[in-house]
Amino acid sequence: MKINSISFGFSTKKLEETQTFYESALDAKLIYKIEGYIILKVGNLPCLLEFSSPELTGEKKSDATSIGFNIDVDDVKKAYDEVIQKGFEIDMPLKHHEWGEIGFSIKDPNGLTIYICKTLSKD
């Protein structure tokens, strides 16, 4: 199986706030928008983030507090400084983890955890 891209879909009642957050915090680009539905692209990754209103999809709830995703970057300290400079609240401060990463996390307006890290070489 050859996978060309992957997208993650989330239901939210905070569509505009979510779009603004991802555009500002992660430099996401809006690539599609209709009433109650947006698709965002982050970086040059073959991955899309899709957010839709519960009214559009018929979802019963819009709670993302138990969901999260990881973003591996080249310079995690620079990413941390940029997020702070933009005024976003840090959920977990930058720290060295015993499993071989340096990382921190923020939360989007829906409570979705975004863990930004740098995987350390095993050498």
**Average pLDDT value for residue range 29-48:** 90
How many angstroms separate the CA atoms of 114 and 123, rounded?
A: 27
**CA–CA separation, 116 and 114 (whole Å):** 6
For residue 39, is pLDDT > 60?
yes
pLDDT value at position 119? 85
Q: What is the pLDDT of residues 103-115, one digit of tens each?
A: 999 999 988 888 8
In CATH, which superfamily holds the domain spanning 6-55+64-119? Answer: 2,3-Dihydroxybiphenyl 1,2-Dioxygenase, domain 1 (3.10.180.10)
pLDDT band at 20 (very low <50, low <70, confident <90, very high): very high
Each domain of the chain, given as residue ranges in start order, spans: 6-55+64-119
Q: Is the pLDDT of residue 64 over 70?
A: no
Dist. CA 63–CA 41, nearest whole Å? 22
pLDDT band at 57 (very low <50, low <70, confident <90, very high): low
